[in-house]
Structure 1
Amino acid sequence: MLAQVQHVCACARFNPIWEFNYNVEGRQAVMVFTSVAGHLMEVDFPDQFRKWHSCGDVELYSCPVDKRVPQDRLDLKKQLEQLARQCAMLVLWLDCDREGENISFEVLTVCRAVNQRLAVRRARFSALIPRELQRAMATLGQPNAAESAAVDARQEIDLRIGASFTRFQTKQLRDRFDLSGISVLRERMARDGRNPVLSYGPCQFPTLGIIVQRAWEVQNHVREPFWSLHLAYREPAPGTGSCTFEWARGRLFDQAAAEMYHEVCQEAEVAVVVAVRGSTRTRAAPSPLSTLEMQKRATSKLRLSGERIMKLAEELYQAGFISYPRTETDVFDPGMDLRGIVAEHANDPRWGAHAQRILSGELWRQPRPGGHDDKAHPPIHPTRHTTGENDWGPDKRALYEFVVRHFLACCSRDAVGSETQVEVDLGGERFRTTGLMVVERNWLDVYPYSGWGGNDNLPRLQAGESFVPSELRLRSGFTEPPPRLSERDLIARMEAHGIGTDATVAEHIAKQLERGYAEKDAAALTFWPTPLGEALISGYCRMGLDDLWKPDLRAKIEASIKDVAAGRLTKEQVLAEAIQFFRADFVTAQQRASVLASEMARFLPAAGAAGGGGGGGGGGGGGPGHGPGGGGGGNHGAGGGGGPPPSGPSLGTCQSCGAAALRLDRAGDGRFHAACSNTGTCGFRLALPRAVTAASVSSRSCDRCALHDAACGPVLQAELRFRMSAVPPGLLQLDKGDVACPACGSHTSRLTRHINLHHGPVPLVDERTGVFALAIIRRPGDGKFLLERYHEGYWVPGGGVDHGESLRQGVIREAYEEAGAHIRVTGILTIESHHRGAWRRIIFLAEPLEEQAAAAARAGAAAGEGAAAAAELEAAATAGVPSSAAGTVGVVPPVSVPRYRCKTVPDVESAGACWVTPEELPHLPLRCASEPMTWIPWVAGGGEVMPLNPASPRLLQVFPDYPL
């Protein structure tokens, strides 16, 4: 491309050598071109450390390393030395990224060793086309030593960490477990006669960790029923508009409340249009194409793997059809002739018409910058037009077309649409619908990979107009787990966490499959860990070595390597810090090797064992299913009839029937439970959370159970161990167990409150009261508000008031159960009721108790003071409430029945809690937005709060049967 006349030198014995005349820096010269295949040198340990048993594995963090030409590239080294002796200048034409810079210095080192007078220049280019190569020759510079040093640092870090942990894993595990159940390893084992090396990579394992974490999220999902109102309207005239409306409350997880709202809407019959809003919307054209964005989009749109995309992109680049495909840049330089590139495609039968509209100015727009510029290469774009070469396969044609269409799209104007929002009221409930009509498609015309638009056939409704809905239904459904991890999502997560570079992300993903750590569904293009991959991540999780599989430490190292490339840090500084971190983790891993082996045994059968694990997705070795990710709260059941009696150790007398033994046992699915041995007439059974991995009977008895019915005798508490990945952060310390009563869940751990095992006694018949109490809880110190988190979003604490409770007792209990918070009720915000009495609700204002008071109350309960401690807590929570006419409002005892069982099935299982500011509220996913969005701003803005007056006429009218 640089000269018209060129020929192959006859002396070339290895890579081809091309010669031609060219003017270099104002002098006519003979250019001699040759090449190398990737890295010329490799980093490795000296011979005395290379054999696995030649040294202690921990020595690999301090022994020297060498960078040398390996045996299989010595001939290429000799060829470079021969040419260097004959030449006066070395021009380095390697790829213009960090790896290319490092290879440049490898070539430079070999050539300078035989010719120290050799002048050195660096050519920088972005595409293999004549004008770009000629520009590079006219602007020769110097190689960048800092970028090369950054690669040297990464290579040494990866060598030391990878070699040490690969040796550790393989020595500890390879011959102890049968890996033949993993298809990709079966052929390798048949060929080699033994299990493969269990390799570790400091980028590959965080990548595997992302795959495993998503698998745990899928496995741990607890299906939760929900209900929502569906409203539809079709205009009477044929061919006119129709639409469906979304309920403003979204989904409700309480069937009784949903049925109540449905009834209210049914009785209203006529919907009133509250508002009709029209606005102009735009759909932004895409930003220029970076490497990772190309992989993310093409994996989902073209259904190609990231590895395949990069291979094809490299071939297109080498043939001169697209620019350099490994770039972080998504900003075009203002001086770049983008119109000239567009003009090359003006006659194409597929997108030429769109290119002509851009050139005419009708659609032209300077591409919107994406915010990343590596200062080395422009975004990926076409460099030469073609309708497709004869030897191109369909994948290459599709990728070239994608690059061209994306470039033309980013040079086009945004799409424009007209949006209409309609809001209606039906029985006090709000419903909304949105319609969108695309007015100007612009970039969408050339970009078939994206769509835009919605219902463009809305009924012609005006504000104040009323109509009878065509359909009003109460729909039910179940929450769904997150989808399995797609390659697009995996690349996006790796990018967000800084795992790998734009050039290596696809390689890290491919290695998961090659090593048998993950599998890819060819049809769905999603990833799932193999038992081996999940076992390794679970093992390091149990060992407390999250740095080895979570992305945080690797992201920090990648950031430091970027600092080396930018000259802000030295190679030695980054090496010292990384080696210090990983050496400490390695020593810990050696000390806890038995933990890793025991966790592997949960997923994989022992070598030589028949049957056993090896099944997909966890639970292989006889442990609880779904790997470390099990979850879910406990459930009590009553009513006899089923299955053989439990055979585990006794915890004491069943508190439900008062006669048979309560035993700690394990079900066929591996889940622990406490069950009455009298399965025929009692049938009491509590399934412990799936997060429990081990359970045994302790020597400590439960004071609370003894208080319920002393005649039954003590119930012993159980010692529980949990999968740490299933436990919310901060609730338990790693490798620590917990002690709890399986019968009532009584103990002081925050974990028990989180999984809703502690609810206190209620009658055997758990009837719905239709009485609800909510709390807007504000923290006085910083003005933040408490929200509890459900599977589907955040809401305010509260729920149904049980029989025998006062309204305040109900909301205090709910706040404790669902958010783990002890609260003091300070006022009333609203009192509401359905006009036919189907439901009644009170919303309180509250604040958290002082930590000292809450701690004292918990300590009293733990010390066995029982009801007295509970009364102290209630008194503290209700301090300042005036007396009613009937006497002082205090602790209302439960309804008297012969026996009690603990309420362990909350109306909705919470999944944690958090404090938020009013400003953060609109950005949170809310399970039901009306209460938080109404009352939190009201309280924050100083809205009126009613006093706690038990004699309030409104209170007595709505709640004549429930004391305040």
Structure 2
Amino acid sequence: MKVCIAEKPSVGRDIARILGATTDHRSYMEGNGYQVTWTFGHLCELKEPGDYCENWKHWSLAALPMIPPRFGIKLIDDKRIKEQFNVIKKLYDNADEIINCGDAGQEGELIQRWVMQKANVKCPVRRLWISSMTDEAIRDGFAHLREQSDYESLYLAGVSRAIGDWILGMNATRLYTLKYGRNHQVLSIGRVQTPTLALIVQRQKEIDNFKPEPYWVLSTVYRDTLFTATSGKFTNKEDGEKAFALIDGKPFTITSVVKKNNTEQPRQLYDLTSLQVDCNRKFGYSAEMTLNTVQTLYERKFTTYPRVDTQYLSDDIYPKCPDIMNGLFMTSFANNRPYAELIRPLGGKKLKKTKRVFDTSKVTDHHAIIPTGVPPRGLTDVELNVFNLIALRFISVFYPDCKFATTTVIGSVQPDDRKPIDFKATGKEILDPGWHVVYGMYDVSPTDNDTKADNDTRSLPHFEKGESGPHKPTLTEKMTTQPKHYTEASLLRAMETAGKFVEDEELRAALKENGIGRPSSRAGIIETLFKRHYIRRKRKSLEATETGIALIDTIKEKLLTSAELTGIWEKKLRDIEHHKYDPAMFVNELKKQIENIVKDVLTDSSNKYIE
């Protein structure tokens, strides 16, 4: 008998239907030579400190650091989980072969491997590895099952991550709680959550300490067009007034008119983080809400596997794209086919194929998030919004580049016996909207950042070099503006790039290797900070609480608060996954680091206390 195990009952029942296992035994399905069962996410976890040592059951500074000689796992203490595990173990004990059908990612691998370890599996194991839950993908996956050993490094990366989080979290949380919380306040420390909190606290301090300062901008209006001085702003009013006096009443002359044609490529396909960013900016959805929604869309076969950090498709997906387009063409919501008119111009011709979309070398386990081609039905408003973003992004990458012209006009005023003062005006003219047409009928912006204004889209009148005439200069007082609070969108980007503010897509992609947390875990980290009352929401803004600020102020070890250092850890975990780093070395490094942290904190003679 072949035993298949999925991560959720709904997924297991879908697989059972495809395999012909139609007899329902409540905790598993059976038929056609298969038994199909499931977990409920994690059934096992790493043992707690008290499971290793009686002395570790009680919180004590003298017991730190706690480093077990060998880490072990145990069943989560839950009646339903224990009952399901007993069913799974019985099926495993009588299996000729096990097929691991867990989610095709690091966490899914860890979940199923731990269950197999706990059940003491002896029989051969193969792996189902698919990127969507469509019937076709499941059938194809079972036709091309892989060896479990192919994913050993994926498991080692997952278990190294779990052990690293245990070593740092268990020890540092007890250490800081006992030393600075004095048993009145649990101070939760985590390998990812603490540097994430540090980012928010640092921004909060920049805002709290910000003092606005005035500056003055010299500009002028010529032929109803605003020109701004190229010399920049004035930090004191007197200098600005002097410059104003020099040009007042003098003629304004156009010295340069430059028009350049440019193109703008379609935005790249979604990975999980960019989807969470857009959902937060456009709809105010939390990262966790977006993750849960796109996970549901995946399980209902409407979109592909969501927990991905690539924005590319492998080349073998290209032949499937016309069928996906056809599925979107036929998609109907409330008797309206929203994508039909967008897809119609692409019909009857070969879809364009570019390296910006199709690049197998940029895809490891899974490709970018795209529709499957299965027309969705029965979507909630939230599911519809998320699906719509994914569908529009997929359609748009096959459209032509946007073509536009930018015009830069330089004018100058010649004061008496002085160097000319230059002014500039810019304009943008759309020559061919290209892929922007896809977004024209929707109230969604395709832009990926909310801090950079679009190019000036105003149209300029026709100017001739050498023309001259009167103008109206102005000196405008402005104030410097404080930094913006993080939103979930901008925080996700900061986590993705280890705290560095990056607008350029290619540079941001390069920094992903050193981001903090995995794309699938970042939403949970942010929610943990809320639950610990270290941060709070104020509309869309994230603010650090007094407790959160006090905690970061107390932690002096950069290892715990530096997003960059944590990003280096994440890089090592990715390298373990790709056979480039030794998992034992990663764990041993953390053991040494926690020993040093404990030593430094215990020798702190200050009388700090966090309420």
Give the aligned partner of residue 17 of structure 1. 28
Give the aligned partner of residue 91 of structure 1. 99
How many Å separate the matches in 2 of 1:145 and 1:593? 46
Give the aligned partner of residue 530 of structure 1. 545
Q: Deviations over 1:554-574 (max 9, x none)?
A: 222211212221222222111
**Aligned to 1:328, which of 309, 312, 317?**
309
Residues 46 and 72, structure 2, Cα contact 8 Å, conserved in 1: yes
Q: Deviations over 1:438-489 (max 9, x none)?
A: 12112112133237664443122100111212x3110111111111112111
Q: Cα distance 1:421–1:587, how it changes in 2: closer, same or farther (>3 A)?
A: same
Give the aligned partner of residue 355 of structure 1. 343
In structure 2, give the amino acid aligned to 1:103.
Answer: I
Name the SS for the 1:60 alignment partner.
Answer: coil
1:821-860 to structure 2, matched below 5 A, reads none
Q: Is 1:133 aligned to 2:133, yes or no?
A: no
Q: Deviations over 1:403-446 (max 9, x none)?
A: 11111112222111122111100231111111111121121121
Residues 301 and 374, structure 2, Cα contact 8 Å, conserved in 1: no
Q: Deviations over 1:496-520 (max 9, x none)?
A: 1121001101111111111000011
Structure 1 residue 84: Cα displacement: 1.5
Q: Is 1:514 aligned to 2:527, yes or no?
A: no
**Aligned to 2:36, which of 33, 36, 41?**
33
Q: Is 1:199 aligned to 2:188, yes or no?
A: yes
1:354-503 to structure 2, matched below 5 A, reads 354-361=342-349, 364-366=352-354, 368-369=356-357, 373-386=362-375, 388-389=377-378, 392-427=379-414, 428-447=420-439, 448-450=444-446, 454-469=456-471, 471-497=472-498, 498-503=515-520
**Aligned to 2:327, which of 344, 352, 367?**
344
Q: Is 1:278 aligned to 2:275, yes or no?
A: no
Structure 1 residue 388: Cα displacement: 4.5
How many Å separate the matches in 2 of 1:375 and 1:340? 24
Q: Deviations over 1:515-573 (max 9, x none)?
A: 0000112x2x1111000000010111xxx322211223322221121222122222211
Structure 1 residue 220: Cα displacement: 2.3
How many Å separate the matches in 2 of 1:343 and 1:11? 38
* Greater gyration radius: 1
Consecutive unaligned residues of structure 1, counting only runs of 5 or more, are 22-29, 177-194, 235-241, 605-964
Name the SS for the 2:64 alignment partner.
Answer: helix
Aligned residues: 551
Q: Is 1:159 aligned to 2:162, yes or no?
A: no
1:702-717 to structure 2, matched below 5 A, reads none
Q: Cα distance 1:67–1:49, how it changes in 2: closer, same or farther (>3 A)?
A: farther
Structure 1 residue 321: Cα displacement: 0.7
Query: Percent identity over the alignment?
Result: 21
Q: Cα distance 1:364–1:374, how it changes in 2: closer, same or farther (>3 A)?
A: closer
Structure 1 residue 20: Cα displacement: 3.4
Q: Deviations over 1:813-834 (max 9, x none)?
A: xxxxxxxxxxxxxxxxxxxxxx
Q: Deviations over 1:836-858 (max 9, x none)?
A: xxxxxxxxxxxxxxxxxxxxxxx
Q: Deviations over 1:598-645 (max 9, x none)?
A: xx4xxx5xxxxxxxxxxxxxxxxxxxxxxxxxxxxxxxxxxxxxxxxx
Structure 1 residue 373: Cα displacement: 3.0
Q: Cα distance 1:125–1:387, how it changes in 2: closer, same or farther (>3 A)?
A: closer
**Aligned to 1:214, which of 191, 198, 203?**
203
How many Å separate the matches in 2 of 1:41 and 1:50? 20
Give the aligned partner of residue 260 of structure 1. 242
Residues 101 and 148, structure 1, Cα contact 8 Å, conserved in 2: yes
How many Å separate the matches in 1 of 2:131 and 2:605? 49
Q: Cα distance 1:576–1:374, how it changes in 2: closer, same or farther (>3 A)?
A: farther
Name the SS for the 1:230 alignment partner.
Answer: strand
Structural RMSD (CA): 2.3
How many Å separate the matches in 1 of 2:236 and 2:436? 43
Residues 415 and 444, structure 1, Cα contact 8 Å, conserved in 2: yes
Residues 266 and 397, structure 2, Cα contact 8 Å, conserved in 1: yes
How many Å separate the matches in 2 of 1:82 and 1:216? 57
**Aligned to 1:52, which of 45, 54, 58?**
58
In structure 2, give the amino acid aligned to 1:65.
Answer: F
Tell me whether 40-49 or 150-159 shows the greater mean CA deviation. 40-49
Residues 357 and 363, structure 1, Cα contact 8 Å, conserved in 2: no
Residues 187 and 551, structure 2, Cα contact 8 Å, conserved in 1: no
In structure 2, give the amino acid aligned to 1:489.
Answer: S
How many Å separate the matches in 1 of 2:399 and 2:102? 34
Structure 1 residue 586: Cα displacement: 2.0
Q: Cα distance 1:359–1:571, how it changes in 2: closer, same or farther (>3 A)?
A: same
Structure 1 residue 359: Cα displacement: 2.8
**Aligned to 2:227, which of 245, 248, 258?**
245
Tell me whether 290-299 or 203-212 shows the greater mean CA deviation. 290-299
How many Å separate the matches in 1 of 2:30 and 2:315? 37
Higher RCO (Cα < 8 Å, 6 or more apart): 2
Name the SS for the 1:483 alignment partner.
Answer: coil
Residues 327 and 375, structure 2, Cα contact 8 Å, conserved in 1: no
In structure 2, give the amino acid aligned to 1:134.
Answer: R
Structure ranking higher in helix proportion: 2
How many Å separate the matches in 2 of 1:62 and 1:591? 24
How many Å separate the matches in 2 of 1:370 and 1:520? 39
Q: Cα distance 1:110–1:226, how it changes in 2: closer, same or farther (>3 A)?
A: same
Residues 48 and 54, structure 1, Cα contact 8 Å, conserved in 2: no
Structure 1 residue 283: Cα displacement: 1.9
How many Å separate the matches in 2 of 1:461 and 1:287? 37
> Given the two structures, how large is their TM-score scaled by the length of structure 2?
0.85
Q: Is 1:70 aligned to 2:76, yes or no?
A: yes
In structure 2, give the amino acid aligned to 1:355.
Answer: I
How many Å separate the matches in 2 of 1:130 and 1:472? 68
Q: Cα distance 1:135–1:514, how it changes in 2: closer, same or farther (>3 A)?
A: same
Name the SS for the 2:569 alignment partner.
Answer: helix
Residues 287 and 367, structure 1, Cα contact 8 Å, conserved in 2: no
How many Å separate the matches in 2 of 1:119 and 1:387? 37
Residues 537 and 549, structure 1, Cα contact 8 Å, conserved in 2: yes
Q: Cα distance 1:274–1:363, how it changes in 2: closer, same or farther (>3 A)?
A: farther
Give the aligned partner of residue 797 of structure 1. none
Q: Cα distance 1:579–1:47, how it changes in 2: closer, same or farther (>3 A)?
A: closer
1:836-915 to structure 2, matched below 5 A, reads none
In structure 1, give the amino acid aligned to 2:526.
Answer: I
Structure 1 residue 595: Cα displacement: 5.3
Q: Cα distance 1:453–1:439, how it changes in 2: closer, same or farther (>3 A)?
A: farther
Consecutive unaligned residues of structure 2, counting only runs of 5 or more, are 1-13, 332-336, 415-419, 448-453, 499-514
Structure 1 residue 164: Cα displacement: 1.3
**Aligned to 1:79, which of 74, 87, 90?**
87
Residues 162 and 202, structure 1, Cα contact 8 Å, conserved in 2: yes
**Aligned to 1:296, which of 277, 283, 286?**
277
Residues 246 and 431, structure 1, Cα contact 8 Å, conserved in 2: yes
How many Å separate the matches in 1 of 2:488 and 2:182? 32
Name the SS for the 2:315 alignment partner.
Answer: coil
In structure 2, give the amino acid aligned to 1:512.
Answer: L
Name the SS for the 2:425 alignment partner.
Answer: strand
Q: Cα distance 1:528–1:573, how it changes in 2: closer, same or farther (>3 A)?
A: same
Name the SS for the 1:592 alignment partner.
Answer: coil
